[in-house]
């Protein structure tokens, strides 16, 4: 019922305003009629006879009710749990006016009928018989008083007939209005239910539309944007719904060339290389294009993720089986070298050994990547860690001795990370720095600094030529390398391990170095 009341409220407010206009018109008409009849009586002409005091009382009371209804219009819109008091007051005032004008045969009784209809409308079709019964009671009382006042003469039949006609008309008007009001109320309730369902479906579609992975834009052939989701807005912030755009002109030309309702193409939109799926549909006899777009970078990343997942699964199952025959090959290669003096044969043996080492390194990097989720964090004092690390590094790579310079903050530097992961990250960065440096006494410089209260930055700088601009974008891609002997997994694994420890690894072209940010042990 609450929905029905809310749906009816605008119509009831309009009905209240119209009813107030009718009341004001009626009041001024009665006052004008009284003034005119009084003047005509002065000329000896017949006119309706009103009691002056009674008429002024009626005008005052009804005028006050009209003014109150204009100032407080909502008091007329009561709940339909009880008959509408405002309508009962109107009916009573019309019955009083009819009585003052001479009774049921005065012609003023017809003024009651519009107020019966308004009473049923205000009550939303309820209580029609109560309103009609109340009017019948008032008409009966007025008729009895009129008959007792005028006497029981030959006019009795006419007065009784008029009373019966008014009563019948009251019941008919009440019944018809109630039927119409109930029908309208049911239609209104059904409309509100359907409207709520449509609103729910719309909200659901909007949510689904905005949460799809693709950027979606709907536009017509003239280039006007009809719809777009949040992802499309992120890619193309200048797009506005109901505004014309030339951003997709290349796709429009491609559609006209292919003459197909569905196709895919790759193009650059704005600054984004995109893969676009184009589908045509007709809405309200107007052809529309639905463009579903994904960044080529995202597609490449997903393909690479699938590739790495497959590779990780493969290496997890086959790493042991691969290492066993590779160990046998290495051992056989070493045995063959013992008595071999031919330089050409020795070169072949070295090639075999180098490739075995390369395969071992690739398996080691991928195995480390597969264990990135297995984190065992500890408090790591970087000064102690570096002392042990640099000894191991120079032992394995003796040529780096006296070529690594380090600068540490004076404060105590304690990291909160997995020490095995930290060892792997720093090892990859140092290897990479040494390989691309001039390999002199100033080849590698390591800076360790505080970054706010909760981060420590470890910066590894080499004195080499640096990374070219075109390679900087692909620096952390797996399997990307500029070295013929490299696997292309070192930096990728290092960044993955940094992120697994809630850190960050990035390249700083201005200083030609890599910056590793890791969480700091707060309660040192």
* pLDDT at residue 169 tops 60: yes
Is residue 9 domain-shared with residue 153, that is, in the same domain?
Answer: yes
| Predicted confidence band of residue 515 (pLDDT cuts 50, 70, 90) | very high
Under the banding of pLDDT at 50, 70 and 90, the label for residue 188 is confident
Residue spans of beta strands (DSSP E) within 163-271: 215-220, 225-228, 262-269
Tell me the C-alpha to C-alpha distance, in Å, between residue 387 and each of 19, 382, 405, 416, 423. Answer: 95, 8, 12, 18, 12
Contact 289, 280 (CB under 8 A): yes
Does residue 396 share a domain with residue 318?
Answer: no
In a domain, 504, yes or no: yes
Domain limits at 348?
A: 299-370
* Residues 357, 432 within the same domain: no
Task: Give the residue from 25, 52, 22 showing the smallest Cα distance to 37.
Answer: 52
What is the CATH number for 240? 3.30.450.20
Question: Is 443 a member of any domain?
Answer: yes
Same domain, 135 and 185: yes
The closest of 73, 97, 75, 176 to 131, measured between CA atoms, is: 176
Task: Identify whether residues 347 and 416 lie together within a single domain.
Answer: no
Higher-confidence position of 349 and 425: 425
Domain count, the chain: 4
- Looking at residue 473, its pLDDT comes to 76
Please state the rounded mean pLDDT for residues 457-462.
Answer: 92
Q: Which residue has the higher pLDDT, 314 or 288?
A: 288
| pLDDT given for residue 308 in this prediction | 63
Q: Are residues 22 and 101 in the same domain?
A: yes
Q: 177 and 28 in one domain?
A: yes
Q: How far is CA 481 from the centre of its chain?
A: 42
pLDDT at 226 over 70: yes
Q: What pLDDT shows up at residue 91?
A: 86
Is 200 part of any domain?
no
Q: Is residue 31 part of a domain?
A: yes
Q: Which residues pair with 265 in a beta bridge?
A: 276
pLDDT computed for residue 4 by the predictor: 46
Higher pLDDT, 509 or 370: 509
The domain boundary residue, chosen from 279, 296, 313: 296
**Mean of pLDDT values over 302-322:** 66
What are phi and psi for residue 259, nearest 5 degrees? 55, 45
* pLDDT tens by residue, 372-412: 556 778 898 988 999 888 888 888 888 988 899 998 877 77
Tens digits of per-residue pLDDT, 250-308? 888 888 888 888 888 888 888 888 889 998 887 657 788 888 988 887 777 777 667 66
Q: Is residue 19 part of a domain?
A: yes
pLDDT greater than 70 at residue 244: yes
Residue 222 scores a pLDDT above 70: yes
- Local confidence band at 457 (pLDDT 50, 70, 90 cut-offs): very high
Of 140-144, 188-192, 201-205, 450-454, the one with minimum mean pLDDT is: 201-205
Report the distance separating Cα 123 and Cα 77, nearest Å. Answer: 9
Task: Supply the pLDDT for residue 211.
Answer: 76
Answer yes or no: do 496 and 483 share one domain.
Answer: yes
CA nearest to 88, candidates 64, 112, 71: 112
> What pLDDT digit, counting tens, does each position of 111-128 carry?
888 888 888 887 778 888
Dihedral of CA atoms 506, 508, 513, 518 in degrees, nearest 10, equals -40
Of the residues 339, 370, 401, which one is the last residue of a structural domain?
370
Q: Give yes or no: residues 239 and 286 share one domain.
A: yes
Which alpha helices (DSSP H) does 212-342 contain, by range?
230-235, 249-258, 296-338
The pLDDT of residue 361: 65
The pLDDT assigned to 373 comes to 56
Averaged pLDDT for residues 208-221: 82
Q: What is the mean pLDDT of residues 58-69?
A: 84
pLDDT at 47: 42
Q: Which residue has the higher pLDDT, 120 or 35?
A: 120
280 shares a domain with 417? no
Give the Å distances, CA to CA, from 38 to 32, 34, 41, 214, 522: 10, 6, 5, 84, 101
Does residue 217 share a domain with residue 99?
Answer: no
According to the model, what pLDDT value does residue 320 have?
Answer: 60
Can you give the CATH number for the domain in which 469 is found? 3.30.565.10
Q: How many CA atoms lie within 13 A of 20 on its CB side?
A: 18
φ/ψ of 467, rounded to 5, equals -95, 130
Buried b (16+ CB within 10 A) or exposed e, 459-488: bbbbbbebbeeeeeeeebebeeeeeeebbb
Residues of the chain with pLDDT > 90, as a percent, come to 5
Task: Tell me the CA distances in angstroms from 276 to 264, 304, 461, one per residue in order.
Answer: 6, 20, 42
Residues 426 and 361 in one domain: no
């Amino acid at each position: 019922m609450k929905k029905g009341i809310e749906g009816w409220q605008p119509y009831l407010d309009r009905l209240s305003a119209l009813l107030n206009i009718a009341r004001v018109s009626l009041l001024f008409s009665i006052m004008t009629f009284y003034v005119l009849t009084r003047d005509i009586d002065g000329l000896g002409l017949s006119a309706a006879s009103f009691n002056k005091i009674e008429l002024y009382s009626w005008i005052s009371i009804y005028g006050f009710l009209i003014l109150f209804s204009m100032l407080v219009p909502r008091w007329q819109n009561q709940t339909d749990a009880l008959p509408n008091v405002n309508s009962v007051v109107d009916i009573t005032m019309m019955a009083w006016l009819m009585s003052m004008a001479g009774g049921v045969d005065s012609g003023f009784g017809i003024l009651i009928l519009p107020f019966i209809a308004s009473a049923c409308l205000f009550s939303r079709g309820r209580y029609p018989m109560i309103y009609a019964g109340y009017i019948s009671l008032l008409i009966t009382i007025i008729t009895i008083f009129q008959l007792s006042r005028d006497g029981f003469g030959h006019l009795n039949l006419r007065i009784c007939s008029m009373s019966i006609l008014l009563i019948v008309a009251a019941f008919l008007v009440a019944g018809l209005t109630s039927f119409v009001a109930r029908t309208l109320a049911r239609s209104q309730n059904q409309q509100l239910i359907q409207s709520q369902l449509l609103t729910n479906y719309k909200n659901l579609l909007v949510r689904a539309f905005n949460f799809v992975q693709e950027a979606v834009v709907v536009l017509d052939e003239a280039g006007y944007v009809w719809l777009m989701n949040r992802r499309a807005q992120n890619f193309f912030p200048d797009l506005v719904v109901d505004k014309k755009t030339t951003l997709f002109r290349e796709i429009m030309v491609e559609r006209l060339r292919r003459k197909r309702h569905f196709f895919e193409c790759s193009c650059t939109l704005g600054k984004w290389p995109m893969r676009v799926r184009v589908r045509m549909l007709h809405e309200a006899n107007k052809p529309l294009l639905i463009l579903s777009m994904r960044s080529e970078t995202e597609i490449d990343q997903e393909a690479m993720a699938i590739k790495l997942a497959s590779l990780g699964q493969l290496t997890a199952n086959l790493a042991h089986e691969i290492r066993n025959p590779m160990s046998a090959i290495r051992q056989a290669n070493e045995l063959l070298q013992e008595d071999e003096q031919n330089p050409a044969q020795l070169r072949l043996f070295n090639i075999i050994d180098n490739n075995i080492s390369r395969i071992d390194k690739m398996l080691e990097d991928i195995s480390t990547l597969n264990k990135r989720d297995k984190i065992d964090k500890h408090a790591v004092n970087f000064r102690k860690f570096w002392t042990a690390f640099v000894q191991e590094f120079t032992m394995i790579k003796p040529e780096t001795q006296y070529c690594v310079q380090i600068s540490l903050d004076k404060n105590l530097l304690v990291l909160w990370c997995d020490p095995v992961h930290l060892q792997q990250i720093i090892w990859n960065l140092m290897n990479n720095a040494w390989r691309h440096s001039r390999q002199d006494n100033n080849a590698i410089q390591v800076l360790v600094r505080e970054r706010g209260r909760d981060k420590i930055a470890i910066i590894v700088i080499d004195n080499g030529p640096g990374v070219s601009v075109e390679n900087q974008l692909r620096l952390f891609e797996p399997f990307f390398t500029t070295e013929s002997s490299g696997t292309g997994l070192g930096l990728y694994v290092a960044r993955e391990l940094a992120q697994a420890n809630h850190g960050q690894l990035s390249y700083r072209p201005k200083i030609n170095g890599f910056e590793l940010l890791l969480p700091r042990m707060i309660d040192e």
